[in-house]
Each structure stands twice: as structure tokens, then as C-alpha cells.
Amino acid sequence: MKNLFDVSNKIALVTGGSRGIGAMIAEGFVKNKVKTYITSRKADQCNKKADELSEFGQCISLPADLTEMKQMDNLVSIIKEREKNLNILVNNAGAAWGAPFDEFPENGWDKVMDTNVKSIFFLSQKFVNILENSATNEDPSRIINIGSIDGIGIPRADTYSYPASKAAVHHLTRVLANRLANRNINVNAIAPGPFQSNMMASTLKEYGDQIKSSVPRGRIGSPEDIAGTSIFLSSRASAYITGTIIPVDGGSLVARRNMD
């Protein structure tokens, strides 16, 4: 019982790990003795974040644009050359696009779907063997997909491809959980509410007080909130949990349903 939440000596990859929610998860892993690879499209940001986190443990930067299959294949090859096992894959890299309904462009649809959904499926597919290598019935490997409460409730913003993509992430999580359970791989999703991130920065700047007051817990999410849930889903404590979507939103969905 004392080691239920111990994740030390595991190996993880966090996509979109250079900022926002991905960086919060990566920091939680590194500070709890997980060897953590992070990837993001912008090499400078990825390298800088890895350098910052390396003060607390092992963090390695491997920049890549996961919407480009050649770059994804290169990322997978590098990790497989360096590691025999991969215990945790966090599919966090994401994109959003906002435009009025009558003006919403095709490239705004495709970019979000490719980043938020397509990359999750193919990265999980390409890593499945190395995830399986490190898995046992008692301690399965973990795939953690980052969805959103906008994939559960109805958002008010003009971001049509974003909630559709996150609903797809949640259902893909259930499908993969069913397919991979017999290979000792647990697949779960986290559906964050409002957190401080680049994606939310302008919204929080303009509507921060209003958003905080609408959250039953009275605040936006902290790094500990998202890191703690990720550590739980990576530890022995969650070994019997797969195919779940966990809202980490301070009660936002409950409040939203009451308002609706």
C-alpha cells in the first residue's frame, strides 16, 4: 500500500510537453523520478523546457511535428534506439481554431483533427510493441490521452473542430482500451477544464474572473491538479482502470449542465 502511487524508474513520453498542460505533466513525472522524453513542434521551446526540468531529474527533448508522419516515424525510431521499454505515453499535443460558423475554414478543421486525433492513433500504433514489452498484468503500460471538457459538454466559443476532435479522442480512448487490454496496456483520458496554457491565455486574460466564478471550486486548474491525475493513471493505484475519461475541471461540467 505504501507504493501505490510510486512511478519512479518508469520511462515516459509526453507530446506537447514544452508548455501548458504537457509541461505540467512532464514536470510532475520528472520530479517523481520518471525518465521523461518531451516533444513539441518548436525545437527551441522544447529544448528550453527540457533544460529547465533536467534540474530535477531526467528530461530529454526530441522536437517533432506529429502531423508529419516522417517526423513521427523519426521520433519513434530514436526512442526505440535508446530504450527497450516505454511505460507511459501521454498524447497531449493539441491545436485549436476559432472562427464564426459561416466562415470556418477547411484548414482550421483539418489542422485540429490531424493534431488532436490522427496523431494520437498513429503514435499509439507505432509505440504499441515497446509499450507491450514493458507491461505485465499487475503493472500494465499506460496510454493517457488528453481530451477536454469541451468534448463532453457544449462550448460557447466558435471552435467547431476542437470539441469534435476532443469527443473523438474520448471515444478513441475507449476503443483502444478495449483493443489493448489483453496486451497489458491501459488506455485512459483526462478531460481538463480551464488551466493556464497558451491555448487558454487570451481567454483567461479577457474572461478570467468570469471563468473562475463559474467553476464551483472557484479557481482554474493548477499544475498539481493535472500532474497528480497523470501520476495516478501511471501508478499501481490505477492498474485496474482502463477506458475511462476523467474530468479534471473543478466541477465545471456540473455547473455547465445546471446552466443549460
Catalytic residues: 162
The DSSP code sequence of 181-206 is GGGTEEEEEEEE-SBSSHHHHHHHHH
Distance CA 115, CA 82 (A): 25
Q: Where are the beta strands (DSSP E) in the chain?
A: 11-15, 35-39, 59-61, 88-91, 141-146, 185-192, 245-248
> Which three three-digit cell numbers place residue 140?
500494465
Q: Give the total residue count for the chain.
A: 260
End-to-end CA gap in the chain: 42
Question: Strand 59-61 vs strand 245-248: parallel, antiparallel, or unpaired?
Answer: unpaired
The angle at the Cα of 143, spanning 2 to 96, to the nearest 5 degrees, equals 125
Distance CA 143, CA 12 (A): 10
Question: Strand 35-39 vs strand 141-146: parallel, antiparallel, or unpaired?
Answer: unpaired
Identity of the residue numbered 186: N
Distance CA 206, CA 196 (A): 13
Cα-only R_g, the chain: 18
